[in-house]
């Protein structure tokens, strides 16, 4: 008689746990997603639906009360420098990625294989430079940029952005190169390849996916950068997206909230998708050096 009752209670407890689990997952997700939902609503609401004071309790701001409109998106692309900013960002991103790959692929391999014990310390030192934040360096850089006469120039960003991409990507690539079995390289050398040929013909081809990951992350780091751009660039036509959207989409004191949120949404979604695709490798690189095993 007690057995069915106990089984029933156990099933009940399990069901409650299940509901709590989904409720918790839902709660965390809503907190994370809420600003993006808000960007979406704002970007497509008509102004008469958008600019209704929050004191008006009969007007529900969480939904479209009037049909959605694309006028803010159209305004963003036609009447604001958004497209120019996207172009600037892509240009800076591509150049910085190229510089980063050229510098950090050889450095990563060297630290992984060729420099021994001394190289390990150097690797950690390079990683620690990633922790030196822009907010500590922007003042000396302001001086350096002034001496070089690069104020308000894209060159300033091209010069400075690798300071955070190179250390990080070197560290990330070091991890990828370590994961390639030594035996392959040793076997090739026994077969008569020189060390340099091994690197060129065997290691680099094997590391392609690692290099791609590093390049993607260098690119997203550039897209996300705000502090240096704010410090060095004041001409609206030379801004990047992450600077121009928050700083220059204003007329006087009035923000174009619809277009602004459209820009935020349109810029964020591709970055978020790329980031998610590569996040596991990113975390492996980030934590592997600090916590082994």
Partner 1 sequence: MTPSAPPARRPAAFRRATLADRGDVIGRLMIAPALAYVILLVAVPFALAIVLSFSSAIAGEISFNLVGFRNFARVLPDPLFQRALINTVVFTVVSEIIVIALAIAAANVLDAAFVGRRFVRFLLLLPWAVPVSLAAMAWTWIFDSTFSVINWTLKVLGLMSGWLYWLGDPTLAMAAIITVHVWRMFPFSTVIILAGMSAIPPDVREAAIVDGAGFWRRLFHVQLPLLLPVVTVSVLFGVVFTSTDLGVVWLLTRGGPYNSTHVLSSLAFQRGILGADLGQGAAIALFLLPALVIAAVAMLRLARRAEVGA
Report which secondary-structure segment, H or E, holds 250.
strand 250-251
- Confirm if 136 and 201 have CB atoms less than 8 A apart: no
According to CB under 8 A, which one of 11, 22, 64, 68 is a site residue for partner 1? 22
Show the site string, 201-240: x = touches partner 1 by CB under 8 A, - = not: -------------------x--xx-xx--xx---------
Q: Does 144 bind partner 1 (CB under 8 A)?
A: yes
Q: Which is nearer to partner 1, 8 or 124 (CB)?
A: 124
Residue 44 to residue 230: CA distance in whole angstroms? 28
Question: Is the distance from CB of 52 to CB of 114 less than 8 angstroms?
Answer: no
Query: How many residues of this chain bind partner 1 (CB under 8 A)?
Result: 108
| Residue with Cβ nearer partner 1 (4 or 107) | 107
Binds partner 1 (CB under 8 A): choice among 190, 205, 253, 254 = 190
- For residue 69 the two structure tokens come to 């409109």
Residue 195 sits in the site that holds partner 1 (CB under 8 A):
yes
Kindly tell me which residue out of 73, 76, 92, 107 binds partner 1, with binding defined by CB under 8 A.
Answer: 107
What are the start-end ranges of the H helices in 131-256?
134-148, 154-160, 162-178, 182-190, 195-198, 204-206, 208-224, 227-232, 241-248
Candidate residues 4, 31, 182, 205; the one interacting with partner 1 per rule CB under 8 A: 31
Q: Is 102 in the site for partner 1 (CB under 8 A)?
A: yes
| Binding-site member from 47, 197, 208, 209 for partner 1 (CB under 8 A) | 197
User: CB–CB of 223/93 below 8 Å?
Assistant: yes
């Amino acid at each position: 008689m007690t057995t069915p009752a106990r089984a029933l209670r156990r099933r009940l407890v399990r069901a409650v746990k299940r509901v709590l689990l989904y409720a918790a997952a839902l709660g965390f997700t809503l907190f994370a997603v809420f600003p993006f939902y808000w960007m979406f609503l704002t970007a497509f609401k008509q102004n008469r639906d958008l600019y209704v004071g929050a004191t008006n309790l009969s007007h529900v701001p969480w939904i479209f009360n009037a049909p959605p409109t694309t006028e803010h998106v159209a305004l963003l692309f036609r009447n604001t420098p958004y497209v120019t900013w996207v172009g600037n960002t892509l240009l800076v991103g591509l150049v910085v990625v190229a510089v980063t790959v050229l510098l950090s692929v050889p450095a990563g391999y060297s630290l992984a294989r060729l420099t021994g014990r001394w190289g390990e310390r150097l690797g950690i030192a390079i990683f620690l430079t990633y922790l030196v934040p822009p907010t500590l360096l922007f003042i000396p850089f302001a001086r350096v940029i002034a001496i070089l006469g690069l104020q308000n120039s894209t060159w300033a960003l091209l010069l400075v952005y690798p300071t955070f991409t190179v250390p990080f990507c070197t560290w990330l690539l070091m991890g990828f190169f370590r994961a390639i079995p030594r035996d392959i390289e040793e076997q090739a050398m026994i077969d008569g390849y020189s060390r340099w040929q091994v690197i060129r013909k065997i290691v680099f081809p094997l590391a392609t996916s690692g290099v791609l990951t590093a390049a993607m992350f260098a690119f997203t780091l550039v897209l996300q950068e705000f502090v240096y751009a704010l410090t060095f660039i004041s001409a609206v036509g030379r801004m990047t997206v992450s600077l121009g959207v928050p700083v220059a989409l204003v007329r006087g004191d009035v923000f174009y909230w619809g277009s602004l949120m459209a820009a935020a949404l349109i810029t964020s979604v591709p970055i978020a998708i790329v980031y998610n695709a590569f996040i596991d490798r990113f975390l492996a690189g980030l934590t592997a050096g600090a916590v082994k095993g």
